[in-house]
A and B are shown apart, each in its own frame.
Chain A
């Protein structure tokens, strides 16, 4: 069954209220028609679909998850988690605590149209200039597989501008700042008293006032559960409706790509996928863009091994799945003697950037941001100190209303052994090997985390905290690096356009192309890279070279 959509882009995505799971949306494109096939509809894939279709290039957009829209979302942490999270079987290994506490949930990302942009928190800092060249700037760091990007900030700047304008980043291009919520009042006053200066309520990809057809935030406090209002940018509310309205995009939800096929010359020529009923399809392809996030993208390339590409598609370097990064993260939750009610308002509309710098005198390379963060009672209980019980644990819970929270997010070191592989011993619902995610902190990551915790202690102590609890990293929300970009084919998987070194019409369009992770929340950079890549693909198609 095909369902057609019309009218202008709305604030909440569009989708009839009832639909069979096998429904597709937008244009009709024959499976035999070699077209641009985009796998994944999140920050990377959704952006590429919009940018190509607005230039008149037909695209099939495959999305493994369902088509949820604002009215479907639940202001309830566990209900939303069941509804949106990527819960397909995964395994973990390595010394990271996630492997002990949450062995089958290495990453907390979304399986739905719009991908993880439907639950991202919203912070939009850019990479810093030196973060594109850390191998040169940081020098050799034992155990770190550092490499300079084949790109510079100067080259990315116009694309960052476009991405910020598309996303409506506050504090940028005339977009006003969001107001201070309760959690920010504690955070920013603490920052000021601790001697920090570079704090603000953004840049942040949620409207402070109506913009681009989307309303202003109502400060409802639900971000990781999907934004019911549409004030927050996502590909669900911006890029995908516009792609569908272009008449050139067919969106196929509930369609899970299982293999990329290629012809005798080594060019990609199709994508095999399973629909909601488990039926196998094959969409012919002229160009394939893989944007399944940094666990599924390398998994798909590895699953696409053939006699011509025995180690997996685009893997002559052996780097597919390697250099998995998840950002150095940690959280600090401070208790006060007066109410905070951190859960009210935009979750991450507060950023301190003073520590986002490379300053070797701190004892580690790279830098980090501090950003406001709140969890509701249900998730606070599960994540504040996983495995904990007894009086210490309930003391944290009893102080919930008087608690302020922050997230610490910084650059982590790429390591070849931190890696996504196929687990041949565990099969998914389709009988395919599940991905295993192996991760161990680098000593640089540990040193940076300790520095961040100490900074959080200073910030909160300066405004009267009774105690500050250090929470370990959650299941990864920033998943990066498993198909990294490199100048030389032997060093990485894709070139400066995200095109596979080994396969001339295969692109990777998500955060897995990141050569190194920087300190910045990655969504803005993924969108900017995808815009740039789509422009390149459109030019190459026009020139007949793809």
Chain B
């Protein structure tokens, strides 16, 4: 599977998550660009209770994914330019509006397709969101709360023992072009 620039939300290469970042060459980001990227991620994917560390790891992954050409670096410079020189000084609402203006660009497609995988594949993020990850190695959830929801009554698990379901209510009637009954 490959990504296409024209599509802002292609599932990224799964290797973006698993590949070693040490085997990529090419151009890295300047300190300024890295700072803008981190701010971009915090604004576009706002989780106030997340610390910086998962965003920093994600930014590194985005940087590695963007090394093949100038799309990422140029896009980050463009954010600063659109913010009269300092994207990082904008408040959240103004920064969000500015990002919306570049949301259809190959630059943001690269940032989004990488971030939506990398940020939410981060195990610290899993902990923050209450997802427990691998479970078979712990015996599954059979004795670890697969049914510990206690704010609703225990429902029936057997099939309904009353009359069988009616499967065919009305076999008549022709239909129009919109699929609705005429």
Contact = CB atoms under 8 A, between A and B. Distances in A.
A173 to B, nearest CB: 14
A: interface residue count bin: 35 or more
A357 B136 contact: no
A365 interface: yes
A281 to B, nearest CB: 27
Interface residues of B, number: 77
Given A179-B147, A189-B155, A345-B146, A378 B120 contact: yes
Contact of B169 (A74, A143, A339, A358): A358
Majority secondary structure, A binding face: loop
A378 B133 CA distance: 10
Given A87-B1, A185-B147, A447-B179, A229 B140 contact: yes
B121 A442 contact: no
Interface in A180-233: 180-182, 184-186, 188-189, 192, 197-202, 217-222, 228-229
Contact of A361 (B126, B171, B178, B181): B181
Interface stretch (A23-31, A246-254, A394-402): A394-402
Contacts of B133: 75-76, 376
A357 B166 contact: yes
Contacts of B100: 390
Contacts of A389: 44-45, 99, 103, 112, 116
Given A177-B158, A359-B169, A443-B179, A220 B140 contact: yes
A431 interface: no
A129 B166 CA distance: 11
Contact of B136 (A79, A201, A229, A363): A229
B116 to A, nearest CB: 5
A142 B147 contact: no
A458 interface: no
Interface of A: 74-79, 81-82, 87, 89, 100-105, 128-130, 137-143, 171, 177-182, 184-186, 188-189, 192, 197-202, 217-222, 228-229, 338-341, 343-345, 353-354, 356-361, 363-365, 367, 376-378, 380-382, 386-387, 389-391, 393-394, 397-398, 400-401, 413, 442-444, 446-447, 463
30 contacts: A76-B133, A78-B117, A78-B121, A79-B14, A79-B18, A101-B7, A102-B11, A138-B175, A182-B145, A185-B155, A192-B156, A197-B160, A200-B158, A220-B136, A344-B144, A358-B168, A360-B175, A361-B181, A376-B131, A377-B125, A378-B117, A381-B116, A389-B103, A389-B112, A389-B116, A390-B99, A397-B120, A413-B179, A443-B177, A447-B178
